[in-house]
Structure 1
Amino acid sequence: MGSNAMQLQESLAGLDYPVSKEDLVRWAQETGLDTQTLQLLRSLPADQFQSPADIGDAIIELS
């Protein structure tokens, strides 16, 4: 993962888990994340995540 992905991973630690993809995208919009990151989060295959690691794993699978 690149530095932007690592920063995202650190930010995700502050969310309450489990989190739905819908809530994750809403959080990203409210946080002001860039359009590219929002598109990435919207394209994640899972509908729910149990931890920041789950999100990171899903992002890696897309790469």
Structure 2
Amino acid sequence: MSQISPVQVQKYLSGVDYPCDRDGLVSTAKKNGADADVLDVLGGLPDRSFDGPDAVSKAIF
């Protein structure tokens, strides 16, 4: 898997209404054209609600 940065992930999460669960994050990233690596990372997040971009970044990185 290629190296993924927090900025890259947040770019694909533009427009997310927080709080948001994992499935919502993946769905938004798909709509925003995320590549398979980003989708895999988001799909591997815990199945819980995230209260903002920082919470997503902390769970990934």
Interval containing the TM-score (normalised by the shorter chain): 0.7 to 0.9
Task: Specify every segment of 5 or more residues in structure 1 that has no aligned partner in the other structure, as ranges.
Answer: none
Task: Specify every segment of 5 or more residues in structure 2 that has no aligned partner in the other structure, as ranges.
Answer: none
Residues 1-63 of structure 1 correspond to what in structure 2 (within 5 A)? 4-12=5-13, 14-60=15-61
Report which of the two has the higher share of helix.
1
- Once the two structures are TM-superposed, the CA of residue 13 in structure 1 deviates from its matched residue by 5.6
Task: State TM-score, norm by structure 1.
Answer: 0.76
What value does the CA root-mean-square deviation take over the aligned residues?
2.0
Segments ≥4 residues shifted beyond 2 Å: 2-5, 7-14
Task: State TM-score, norm by structure 2.
Answer: 0.78
CA distance in 2, matches of 1:33, 1:13: 11
